[in-house]
Structure 1
Amino acid sequence: MSDHVSFDIQIEIMTRVPIKSLIRFTSVSKTWKSLNRSSKFIADYTKHHSQRQHFLITYMNHSSYPPQNCFVSIADDNTFPEHKLFLTTPNSLILEEFVIVGNSHGLLCFTRVLFSNWKIAEVIIWNPSIRKTDVIQMHKVKKSCSCYQDSVVGFGVCPNTIDPKIVKICRCKCNVEVEVFTLSSRVWRSSLSNTNIMLRKDASFCFDDDNVVIDGFICWLVYEIGKPSSDDMIVLFDLTSEKFMEIQFPNKIRLSRQSTTKLFKLRESVAVVLRTMNPNVDIEVWKMEINDVTRSFTKLFNINILPDLSYLYGLTKNGQLIFEKQHIHDHKTSFHVIAYDPCAKSINYLKI
């Protein structure tokens, strides 16, 4: 084909073939293999193929030694949870020391944490579709002070360029440093856009390690050390403009807050899942529209959970909550993944 068809036409053809065919092309030609791993080709390919949303479940397989990270991708549509795909974990992500940061546009991002000092050593971007991993070494920022410095990493794909970005925030009581890594350039650079939005000279704020990417924004839950959870807020990072924004929780949420709050993605909205002080309600679920000018919060529903429902993975597009369910039998503990429908108040085992 390469002898009779120009390379530009070859590129145009490959942007339109199914992903399985694209993977096979990588074993045919080194040029094609290099091409379909470039950021520009990924951006062009994405424009021609609608992204089917998937729900990702990660769990630790303790039956192997050492324990291994395992990943299951489930099509998040009206067929949920029928179409499951058990992903083959690359060797670089098998060990326990990797922590998932988030996922965006079919890419998964992890950090490798040094348990000796809890510092982030490197970031890994994994594309399960083409079975490729990129390892990015963390750039050491020169400190201008001697106080303790906390770091957090966010990940997302810029909606305009389809270029993956890593955001690293290093902050202490007197300073904040923000760096952005763009996969196409493979360079860390300082980002000075309104970083003082997170700097309080009389307070110390911490970012929750989990973040969600919604409509071109990385969203974190941020809390103030030593203060009640009513002072928590949401911080957004715009992947296009690289500017930060703060969103304060309204009083109607603050007054019902207790201790545990998590952010999840619900379609193209932020879902806020929180424990309450109401003895009759265990969990409240609220929704905030990112693109709504008022960024108002709407209450979706309350639920009472069973005591053996432990970890919450997130919400599906149709509003089901995905939990990890603990089961103890003959002094042995096993775990199951279940989908809880808050409308029907029913539980469905996902057989994972």
Structure 2
Amino acid sequence: MAKWLYIYGQDLPNAFANSGAVLNLCNALVNHGVDIQLACPESSTNTEEIRAAYELDPSIEILPVLQPNKSLAAVWMLLTCRKHSDADIYITRMPALAVLASLLGKTTVLELHQRIDTARHWSFWRRFLRFISVRRLCFVANSVALSKDIDPVVDQKRFKVCHAPSSARDFQPDTASQHRKYDVGYVGSFMPGKGIEVVHAIACAHPALSFVIYGNPASNPEIAEELRSLANVTLAGFVNQAKISDALQSFRIGLAPYSDKGFGGPNAPFIPIEGLSSLKIVEYMSAGCVVVSSRIPPVEHVVTDGESAVLCDANDMDDWISKIGELASDPVRIQTLSDTARRTFLADYSYDVRARTIKSLVEKL
């Protein structure tokens, strides 16, 4: 049986949603019979803390690897992995590492959660695509838009590309929506474009509804201070992957008020909205929340307005305020929408589905 190695380029544990996505995928691959290791920078916390934070399957070996030079992190990590792991198949979110690994003859899966041309030095690394066998490199894109627009060379050489939507753990909700502590919730970043300002406006307009916000307020202290001043808002802080299930099941209506342009912050690159992974949407669905989101293409690929979610005009605050008010006063509709969303999640957006898709793609190389 082929051995797999997931190479993750950031210290663990961390506050980034992609770390949970990576480790949950590893768990799901184990459930599909894959023998997999996890490589991460040796500067990460001890392995016991990583396992506890992400509930990592005990069969997954954690391989700390050398990363002495951030500017050449992909190269250093690859060389260390080749030295200390006998894995046959690599999987990563690092484009440079994927190109180099496949160029050296290793079967490699590159997971894409944003446009590949935003990767550091991609204009250099893409030149090597022409020399890579299509049996050595394949691409898994988190959105339809990404899967159709990776790189011209990918199209010319006909590398295998598949669309595997953002996935979430099965949170197995055990709290009926009408018995949850808060009416409305938001889980995510305070960075511009993610919609925290919209959450604030909705909370101001509906003082009778209770709101809870999970995220790090330090990234936007001004809006955080305004939210703290509202009697109907609770700032619950950042929540790690081990506790995300309880957080998601603490509210009935989950907000995802994305900008229709994109998002980014002072210390993060701007990501056009076409590159949105919709992870928040899928997590809400898994937890049995009603999704109320901006009407944008990446979200419309996941949910259906009026059936599995309520979609609003990203630029019309009155639309958000009125729809939240109508929904909050209709418990039957809340239950119907959340039940449909939950069924949709189980059918299409669990890590089990994603793992099966990726394993099948590799088997076809």
So what's the TM-score if we normalise by structure 2? 0.23
Ranked by relative contact order (alpha carbons within 8 Å, sequence separation 6 or more), the top structure is 2
**Larger % of helix: which?**
2
**TM-score w.r.t. length of structure 1:** 0.24
